[in-house]
A and B are shown apart, each in its own frame.
Chain A
C-alpha cells in the first residue's frame, strides 16, 4: 500500500529579524530554521528532536503559521498553506491542531473546561451548537476525565489532567494532524506515561497523525515511527526509529544518544563528550553547522554545507547530512581528540 503524504515541508526557512541601531533597522537575523524539507505520511508519528535552539518548536509553529514562515512551501494534503489567506488558514486549522508544553499557560484560567473546548468547536463550527455539550462530555471521557468535570476551572486540575484538557480541545474539531510541542515534557514520569499511552490509543482510534516535538529521546523512541534530528536550524539526520537508535550515522546523533544517562547502573557505555556549547543561531557556523563541536570535522566541513544523503550501508529512507558518513562508518576516520571520548563507570 502506498503511503499517503499528509504534510510536505519543502525548503522551509524561518528567520526572525533583530532590530537595532539608531533607526530600529533590521541589523541581522536569527536563522531559527534554515532550509529544511521533510514529509509526514498519514497515520504515522514523526518526531523532531534536538536541543534548545535547534528550531524544532519553530518548525511546528511555522507549519501552522503561528509565526509566518520566511520562505518555503508547507503542503497539507496538496494545498500550500503558506499561500492561504488568514481566514482560509484559520479554517484549515480544523485539520491541524497543536498541543503545547505548558498546560498552565495554554489554557485560559478564567474559562471553565467546557468553554475552553467549546471555543475551538465554535471557531471551526465543527459541531452544531445543541450537540456541543454532549460532545464535550464524550471528549472528556475519551481523554480519561469525567463528564462532571466540564464545569470546573483549570486550577482545579493537576498538570497531567490539564494536558488531557489540552488534548480534548485539540480533538474537538476532529483534526487529521496534531502537532505535539513538548506535550509531555512538563509532566512527572508516572503521569507522562499515562499521557503517552493516551496519545497512542487516540491515534489508533481516530487515525491521527502526529508531529511530535521533543527533546527527550526516551519519549521519542517510545512514540515515533520516524525521527528527524535537528541542530541549529538544520536537519542532521532523518530515519525510521529502529535504524536511528541502532545505527545512528551523524556524529551529532551519536553524541546526543551517548549523552543521555541510562537508568541501569551496570550498563557501561562509551560517552562522546561534546566540547562547548551550541553556537548562536544569529551567526551560525559556516559549512556544516556542527563542525565547531564535531570530533571529526575537517577543512571541508568548515566551508561546504553537507546535503542529506543515503549510503549503501544505510537503510532505505535513512538520511544523514555529513560529508564523512562512509569514512566514519568504515572506521577510516577516527575522532580527532580521542581523550574527549571517555569511558564512564569503567
Chain B
C-alpha cells in the first residue's frame, strides 16, 4: 500500500457542462485536502459548485457534465485514472455518499433491508441471510428502534429522520474510509437535524472515517467540521481551519456571508447583505468572480483573476488584498464598522 498523508487531495479539479449554449464551468480549478479521520466542510450558496464537486469526486456526473481536468487523489491514487469498473469497486465500499433528499434517494419499491443488503452482497460477498443480519446490525447502529421489524419495511413507512438514518446505514454498511454527505440535514427539522449530525459525528469516531460535509449552513459547518472550503461561482475562495474561518474570515465573500446570517444566539442590529447576485455561469466576470459584489474591489480585481494565497496559518485565500500586487488601500478594512466575530 502506498503511503499518503491526506486521505483525499483534490488538485485543480475542473468540471464543465457542455450545453447547446456552450460550456458552463461549474467547477473551475478546485483544490483542497482532507487529512484522515477529519471532517471537511464545503460551504457555498446555490450555484457555487459544491454539489457538482461532490458528484465529481465519485464520477457520478451524467451528460452533459464532464470532468475536464485535475486530479482526485484518494489514498494517494488518482481516481480519474480508474476505469468505470474500478470506480464501481470504490463507490459504496471505500467512499460512500448520502444525499439531501432521503425520499428520492431510496428506492420506494424495495424494503430498506434489501437496499442495505445490496451493497453488502456486491462488495463484501455476503449471502442473502448474512447480508440481512448485517443490515439489522447497521439499523441498530444508526439508532433505529426495533430494527428486526424495520428491516422489512418500505421507505414510505418511515419518517424523514428515519429515512436519513437508513441512508446512513446504507452508506456505512461496507465500512467506507470516507463519507461524502451532501446537505444531509437540509430537508430535516432542527431537532431531527441535531440527532442526525450527532449520529454522523459519533459514527465517524467509532469507525475512524473521514467526512466531507457539503452544506449551505454555516452553523452546521461550525459544529461539525475541522476544515472548511468556501466556494463561490465554481471556485474555492477560502480554505481554512474552522476556527480561523469563523474568528477571522479573510475573503470578503466569507465576511459577507457571516454578516448576512441572522443569528438566533445573539442580538443583531441590522443584517449587512452582500449586494447583487451570483453571476450567471455564462457571464462570468473576467477578474475575481466576486469583484462585482465586493465592497473592496479595485481595477486589479476586476481585470485579473487572483490565485490562491497562503497565509501564515497555512490557510488559503483567493483575494488580491493579501498579495504584494494589491493596488487598493493597504489598510483596507473588509469587516466594516464592527467585527462579526466576538466572544
Contact = CB atoms under 8 A, between A and B. Distances in A.
B243 interface: yes
Interface stretch (A123-131, A168-176, A251-259): A251-259
A83 interface: no
A51 interface: yes
A188 B45 contact: yes
B205 to A, nearest CB: 13
Max chain A CB contacts within 10 Å: which of B45, B162, B265?
Answer: B265
A194 interface: yes
A245 B268 CA distance: 13
A194 B273 contact: yes
A200 B269 CA distance: 12
A193 B262 contact: yes
Contacts of A261: 193-194, 197, 217, 219-220, 222-224
Interface residues of A, number: 48
Interface string B262-280: 1111011011111101100
Nearest to B271: A193
A271 B194 contact: yes
B277 A158 contact: yes
B246 A263 contact: yes
A308 interface: no
Contacts of B46: 159, 188
Q: Is the interface of A mostly helix, strand, loop or mixed?
A: helix
A222 B268 contact: yes
A189 interface: yes
A265 interface: yes
Contact of A191 (B263, B273, B341): B273
Given A191-B277, A345-B223, A263 B261 contact: yes
B216 interface: yes
Interface in A131-180: 158-161
A256 B189 CA distance: 10
A170 B313 CA distance: 50
Interface string A180-197: 000000001111111011
Contacts of B192: 51, 277
B261 A189 contact: yes
B262 A262 contact: no
Max chain A CB contacts within 10 Å: which of B190, B242, B270?
Answer: B190
A278 interface: yes
B194 to A, nearest CB: 4
A11 to B, nearest CB: 27
A112 interface: no
B271 A222 contact: yes
A277 to B, nearest CB: 5
Interface of A: 51-52, 158-161, 188-194, 196-197, 200, 215-223, 242, 245, 255-267, 271, 273-274, 277-278, 342, 344-345
Interface of B: 45-46, 159-162, 189-195, 197-198, 216-224, 242-243, 246-247, 256-265, 267-268, 270-275, 277-278, 341, 343
Given A51-B192, A221-B267, A257-B264, 12 more contacts: A190-B45, A191-B277, A196-B271, A215-B189, A222-B262, A261-B193, A261-B217, A265-B223, A273-B195, A277-B161, A342-B198, A344-B198
27 contacts: A52-B189, A161-B277, A188-B216, A189-B218, A190-B257, A190-B273, A191-B45, A193-B273, A193-B274, A197-B270, A215-B189, A217-B264, A222-B268, A223-B262, A259-B191, A261-B194, A262-B222, A263-B218, A263-B258, A264-B222, A264-B341, A265-B243, A266-B247, A274-B191, A274-B194, A274-B195, A345-B223
